[in-house]
Amino acid sequence: MNLDDMPRVKRGVITKKKHKALRARAKGRRMLNRTTIKRARQADLKAGVQAYRDRRNKKRLARNLWAIQINAAARMHDLSYSKLIKALKDKKIELDRKILSSLANKEPTTLDKIIEFVK
């Protein structure tokens, strides 16, 4: 098939659809980042990069919070966080930090028994 025999492709419909989707994602942004296609596309890319980064940072912050909560519970029994974790490992108690922090929040008596056991 020769290139001259091929029909002409008009892409206005597709472009308009893509622009419409981009504008929908740009809702809530300020000034040209919402109205102008070029600026909206740049803002959309930047937002995607930041969202990817912050999904990981959210997990990092959660892990930090777990350590703080475990440390607070351990301090009530005159232990530090690191000594509690080491004692748990020595006794071969395999509770991860997420579980320990939820025990500190929701079941403090259970955590008290665990800490007394490992002391």
Angle, to 10 degrees, between the axis of helix 108-118 and the axis of helix 81-90? Answer: 70
What span, in angstroms and rounded, lies between the C-alpha atoms of 25 and 21? 6
- pLDDT for the residue numbered 9: 82
Does the structure show a pLDDT above 90 at 8? Answer: no
Q: Give the pTM.
A: 0.68
pLDDT single digits (tens) 65-101:
999 999 999 999 999 999 999 999 999 989 899 999 9
Closest Cα to residue 32, out of 40, 20, 44? 40
Which residues touch 100 (CB under 8 Å, ≥6 apart)?
66, 70, 73, 111
User: Domains in the chain and their CATH numbers?
Assistant: 12-118 (1.10.1900.20)
